[in-house]
């Protein structure tokens, strides 16, 4: 508990990271309360208010079908955050398993698994995702799965590096001498000590997943209309850039602020979890 207090204290000293964390908490709250705070149904068409500029009744204006942009932005936050968390969760699970196996067993297992990681890293990730989605039916489930399956390599390398160091530690040798099997050594003794860089990578990964989902939706390969996402709102903005600036500015700012917030959190966690600085405060 003392260590957690030190980590929280160090994180709180980074004002930008605290602002990023507060922004993310606000976004999560907004997405959870979307059914209650969205002023309109995000799919309702109103032909009398097509491309209306921001006003009292529609604070962020309307799109080419008269749908309220604020409501679509609020509901779109659900999609972006859901994709970010689920996709990164899948990537972390795969990365931890492969990295732990490679680092713990070493030898041929390490060589085979790391060559597989190198092969995956050789493919341009975004184009690989495009190829898979072109074959499968575009949906939010497909996007989450594909981003997760193509984004685990960095986590695997981080976990492997930590395991290569940890398996030489005295507490692992002692646990092995007491009869602990491989699974117990990996998941009970070593993995908890290897998660610090994974947490940092996860925050950056969520930001990357949100960007990827927005890019796919912008290209028409992500969340399909009429379901709202920040990416397909940007598509409407592209088609009407000369007469409806709000369709490009507001979703663009939402993506920018969200990704920047997660990156700030990652920076703060990286500093707070740096073990080289703990001894100075514990």
pLDDT above 60 (res 1): no
Q: Which long-range contacts (CB under 8 A, 24 or more apart) does 245-248 make?
A: 246/53, 246/54, 246/60, 246/61, 246/69, 247/61, 247/63, 247/69
pLDDT of residue 90: 92
The set of residues, in sequence order, having a beta carbon less than 8 Å from that of 266 and lying 6+ positions away, is 200, 201, 203, 204, 207
pLDDT of residue 25: 94
The closest of 2, 3, 4, 22 to 257, measured between CA atoms, is 22
pLDDT of residue 188: 83
pLDDT of residue 95: 92
pTM of the model: 0.87
* pLDDT average, residue stretch 39-61: 87
Query: What is the domain partition of the chain in residue ranges?
Result: 2-40+64-280
Q: Which residues pair with 68 in a beta bridge?
A: 62
Return the higher-pLDDT residue of 5 and 118.
118
State the first-to-last Cα distance of the chain, in angstroms, to the nearest integer: 11
pLDDT of residue 126: 77
Q: What is the rounded distance in angstroms from the CA atom of residue 256 to the CA atom of residue 190?
A: 37
pLDDT of residue 254: 92
| Cβ proximity of 104 and 182 under 8 Å | yes
* pLDDT average, residue stretch 216-226: 82
The closest of 136, 129, 127, 101 to 116, measured between CA atoms, is 101
pLDDT of residue 242: 83
Longest Cα–Cα distance of the chain, Å, equals 77
User: With bands split at pLDDT 50, 70 and 90, how would you rate the model's confidence at 96?
Assistant: very high
* pLDDT average, residue stretch 135-151: 83
User: With bands split at pLDDT 50, 70 and 90, how would you rate the model's confidence at 127?
Assistant: confident
pLDDT of residue 8: 76
pLDDT of residue 276: 55
39-43, 83-87, 111-115, 168-172: least confidently modelled range: 168-172
Range ranked top by mean pLDDT from 104-113, 138-147, 253-262, 268-277 = 253-262
| Cβ proximity of 140 and 79 under 8 Å | yes
136-140, 193-197, 236-240: least confidently modelled range: 136-140
Q: What is the rounded distance in angstroms from the CA atom of residue 241 to the CA atom of residue 236?
A: 8
Joined together, the tokens standing for residue 49 give 């208010």
| Cβ proximity of 212 and 147 under 8 Å | yes
Q: What share of the chain is helix, strand, coil (3-state, %, to 5)?
A: 75, 0, 25
pLDDT of residue 278: 52
User: With bands split at pLDDT 50, 70 and 90, how would you rate the model's confidence at 19?
Assistant: very high
CATH class of 2-40+64-280: mainly alpha
167-181, 200-214, 249-263: least confidently modelled range: 167-181
pLDDT above 60 (res 121): yes
């Amino acid at each position: 508990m003392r260590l957690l207090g030190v980590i929280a204290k160090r994180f709180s000293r980074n004002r930008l990271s605290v602002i990023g964390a507060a922004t993310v908490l606000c976004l999560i709250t907004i997405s959870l309360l979307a059914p209650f705070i969205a002023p309109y149904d995000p799919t309702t068409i109103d032909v009398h208010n097509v491309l209306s500029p921001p006003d009292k009744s529609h604070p962020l204006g309307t799109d080419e079908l008269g749908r309220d942009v604020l409501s679509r932005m609020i509901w779109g936050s659900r999609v972006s955050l859901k994709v970010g968390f689920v996709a990164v969760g899948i990537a972390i699970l795969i990365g931890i398993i492969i990295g732990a196996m490679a680092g713990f067993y070493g030898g041929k297992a390490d060589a085979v698994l790391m060559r597989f990681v190198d092969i995956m890293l050789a493919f341009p990730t975004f184009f690989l995702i495009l190829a898979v989605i072109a074959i499968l039916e575009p949906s939010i489930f497909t996007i989450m799965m594909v981003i997760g399956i193509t984004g685990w390599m960095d986590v695997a390398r981080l976990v492997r590096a930590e395991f290569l160091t940890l398996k030489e530690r005295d507490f692992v040798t002692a646990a092995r001498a007491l009869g602990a099997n491989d699974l117990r050594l990996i998941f009970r003794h070593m993995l908890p000590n290897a998660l610090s860089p994974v947490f940092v990578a996860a925050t950056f990964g969520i930001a990357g997943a949100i960007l990827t989902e927005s890019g796919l939706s912008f290209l028409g390969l992500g969340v399909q209309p009429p379901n709202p996402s920040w990416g397909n709102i940007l598509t409407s903005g592209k088609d009407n850039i000369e007469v409806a600036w709000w369709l490009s500015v507001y979703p663009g700012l939402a993506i920018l602020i969200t990704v920047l917030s997660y990156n700030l959190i990652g920076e703060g966690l990286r500093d707070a979890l740096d073990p080289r600085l703990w001894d100075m405060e514990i």
